[in-house]
Copies of this chain bind each other. A is one copy, B any other.
């Protein structure tokens, strides 16, 4: 059993490395139009009105607009993302 434990300890970092390397690198966008090759959004300046808040966290249910979902993402992950706020001065 001692040999077994030593064997295990020697190989476990390798296993971990193997599993990690195989993992795909994280996507920023996990939900919006994943069937599209690239999600670029055209928005006419004329439709902005006095103020529009645009999502940059890709979690909003009102995408391309921000619905506050960035706060939950920041809380869960320790990230610090926020929206783009376009306003008439």
Which chain A residues have a beta carbon within 8 Å of chain B's beta carbons? Answer: 1, 3-5, 7-8, 11-12, 15-16, 19-20, 24-29, 33-34, 36-46, 48, 50, 54-58, 64, 70, 73-74, 76-89
- Could you write out 10 A-B pairs with CB less than 8 Å apart? A8-B11, A12-B15, A27-B80, A28-B58, A28-B79, A41-B84, A42-B87, A44-B86, A48-B86, A56-B56
Contact (Cβ within 8 A) A78 B24: yes
How many monomers of this protein are in the complex?
2
Assembled-state Cα–Cα distance A54/B53 (Å): 13
Assembled-state Cα–Cα distance A79/B57 (Å): 14
Nearest B residue to A51 by beta-carbon distance? B45
Contact (Cβ within 8 A) B43 A84: yes
Assembled-state Cα–Cα distance A50/B46 (Å): 10
Partner of A45, one of B38, B81, B88: B88
